[in-house]
Amino acid sequence: MPSTIVALAPSRTPAPLIASALFLSESIEGFDDGAAFLDRLTPGEVARLRDAGRSLALAPGQSVFEQGQPHSGIFLIEEGRVRVFYTGPSGRQITLAYWTPGHFIGGPSLTGGGLHQWSGEAIEPCRVTALSAATLQSLVRQMPNFALCLIEALEAKGRCYTAMAQMLGTRSVIERLAQLLLNLGDLYGRRVDGAVVIERRITHDEIAALVGSTRQWVTMMLRRFQDEGVLAVDRSCIRLKRPSRLQDIVQGEA
């Protein structure tokens, strides 16, 4: 059964869910910390790096790498967005992050060996540059600055997953939902008559996978928020009518 659409941008082509990276966090700070990790390289070094890799075109829904597969390198996102997610033994999934151009995916291992701990899937047409473990090692030897780039990118990833772990470990699911809605408002919202209007497409399934819940629960809670006048949902947008109420929930005043 197709997932329920919460909001669609009012245009012929639906607006993307994400213009920046997105993951579960108490604020939007640091969402794109790792997107410019190659900036310390010269244009010539960046071209050399990309020439050393393999360019791959991916269709929506196509796997970049799969949980449990042997780890053989990393992928630089050149175009499009990739969802990275973990699948539990029951088959239930939790979204770790949506990554956008400039970020690399496929870590944390860089030198090969072991198995992927999660999966990456294109959610729109994507182009990535695949860098094998052997290629990475060679580039690090040839370009010491590239080693610093990788360290900084890994630090950014560590902050991302720490933020997500803190949210999952210390916040209730309703607090996580309220925070996600506030974050979407901060990223994409515009003020209209005291409300925050979010014109981005997101499904109940996508929300559930981000906050660590089920689609049924998300549907129930969004309906409750609408009944209480906290938000309104129509075919064009999500309208946060009382963002202060969502902030109260985040602060534990449910």
pLDDT value of position 1: 40
Q: How far from 119 is each of 66, 79, 133, 150, 237, CA to CA, in Å?
A: 4, 18, 18, 20, 30
Q: For residue range 32-64, what is the model confidence (pLDDT) as tens digits?
A: 888 989 999 999 999 999 999 999 999 999 999
| CB contact at 8 A, 200 and 189 | no
Under DSSP, is residue 198 helix (H, G, I), strand (E, B) or coil? strand
List the chain pLDDT tens, one digit each, 254 residues.
Answer: 444 334 433 333 334 445 689 999 999 988 888 898 999 999 999 999 999 999 999 999 999 999 999 998 999 999 999 999 999 999 999 999 999 999 999 987 887 778 999 999 999 999 999 999 999 999 999 999 999 999 999 999 999 999 999 999 999 999 999 999 999 999 888 888 888 998 777 888 999 999 999 999 999 999 999 999 999 987 778 899 999 999 999 998 76
Q: How far from 126 is each of 2, 7, 94, 136, 137, CA to CA, in Å?
A: 23, 23, 21, 22, 25
Residues of the chain with CATH 1.10.10.10: 173-251
pLDDT value of position 72: 87
- One of 3.30.9.10, 3.60.15.10, 2.60.120.10, 3.90.1720.10 is the CATH number of 22-170, namely 2.60.120.10
Query: What is d(CA 221, CA 240) in angstroms, rounded to the nearest whole number?
Result: 14
Could you tell me the fold of the domain covering 173-251? Arc Repressor Mutant, subunit A (1.10.10)
Query: What is d(CA 216, CA 222) in angstroms, rounded to the nearest whole number?
Result: 10
Residues of the chain with CATH 2.60.120.10: 22-170
pLDDT value of position 5: 36
pLDDT value of position 254: 63
pTM of the model: 0.86
Query: What is d(CA 252, CA 249) in angstroms, rounded to the nearest whole number?
Result: 5
pLDDT value of position 12: 30
- CB under 8 Å to 173, separation ≥6 — which residues? 211, 212, 213, 217
Structure tokens given for 34:
């790792």
